[in-house]
Amino acid sequence: MSAARRRSTSAKTEAVIPARPFHYGTGAGRDLLCDQVRLAQLAKEYGTPLYVYSATSIRQRVQMFADAFAGMRHTLCYSVKANSNLSILRMLADFGTGFDIVSGGELERVRVAAKALLDRVVFSGVGKTAAEIDAALAAKILVFNVESAAELDLLEQRARHLLKRAPVAMRVNPDVFAATHPYISTGMSEHKFGVEMGTAYALYQRAARSKYLEPTGVSVHIGSQIRSAEPFGQALQRVSELVRELKSQGIDIQHIDAGGGLGISYQLEDSETFDPQAAVNAYARQVREALAGFEGELLLEPGRFIIAQAGALLTQVLHEKRNGNKTFVVTDAGMNDLIRPSLYQAYHAILPLRRDTKRKMAVVDVVGPVCETGDFFARDRELPELTAGDFLAVLDAGAYGMSLSSNYNSRARAAEVLVNGRTHRLIRRRETLREMLTQERGLPSK
């Protein structure tokens, strides 16, 4: 968040904040809680599958960035694609954030949730359409992160047509390797994102000559779920060199967009060692060092780091089955609700909503009802023995859970609940079967 514009979000961040808001009650308590609310209570009240988020955790993560970048002009532009629920966007707007979007639909979500903050919107993505560009120009967003010469052409055409001047930042590809899943690595020359540094320089000169384009920034984003801070520093050092070269040619760069990508720990065993504030501080040190001497504004685009560990997917066990030596725990949530394990082979910790130390441990596959072998949440996972009716929490599902959900197998999307301390409220009701069919022809009248 911009230091000048930042609203107070909480008291000074404590020295150590737990990575997750989900924990078992102390003493004789055996129920899994989100903040101070029993998850079993939420599962029974709202049904499953159900997404649950902690407002406290989200607020703490935003404050971590504010603390780490204190004294440096910056705006935190939350990555809407991570989780685009309107209530969460409104809450983040109240904390003073901006937004990073990648589609016209996300622009509309920000307009509905926080119309007054459209001037803090960064529009990224490799395939912006003419209609999306027109809507963003009309909204007077902060900047377009341009990813190709063809996109720059289209942006100039639409700005000319609307008699507007489009603020532009080239998304440069620094060719920096980041150790992450290949599907979410974006900073190498082999990826579809961004433009090469040499190409970017030529595009800036071209934009500077245009009556309808205004080069205001440089953008970089090297990938997602990056646990080491060093690649961010390497990428921004190259960006800093480009900014100095552009300045020498009379092109005034007002902001540098460092992108997002700061990773979290999905392993439950790391709960005692993963310190979110320490991770942000290490990231901030790399950024500050790389951009030493830069007097403009820094834009940050965290998404996963803000919301992932604040959320969990609750699901109920339908039954257990055995095929040969394999034991399957079948749940009412499926890959349509949380596709990350299937798409990325991602690990998510799974906990029963009620702790029972008397239950024996068993090695099982936790799977859903979708007609796909890839419909699973865990394979060969050691869990307490489970029976029909038990509830489970799939942790760290706040990012790219609901936002990647679908109606595959004609399954309705889950409900969402926001917890704030001891209170909770429904922020998205469960989709009905009729709502799924309303866009299709042939639906009979009621």
Active site residues: 371
CA dist., res. 68 & res. 64, Å (int): 6
CA dist., res. 186 & res. 220, Å (int): 10
- Torsion-angle region of 421 (φ positive above 0: left; ψ -120 to 50: alpha; else: beta): left
Read out DSSP for 396-411?
S-SSSSGGG---GGGP
DSSP-assigned beta bridge partners for residue 217: 169, 255
CA dist., res. 411 & res. 238, Å (int): 47
CA dist., res. 245 & res. 343, Å (int): 41
**CB 119 within 8 Å of CB 142:** yes
For residue 378, the tally of other CB atoms under 10 A from its CB is 19
3-class SS of residue 324:
coil
**CB 86 within 8 Å of CB 114:** no
The two three-digit tokens of residue 246, written as one number: 């552009």
Where helices occur in 115-212 by DSSP H, the ranges are 130-139, 149-162, 197-209
CA dist., res. 296 & res. 368, Å (int): 49
CA dist., res. 285 & res. 153, Å (int): 37
The two three-digit tokens of residue 90, written as one number: 């409104």
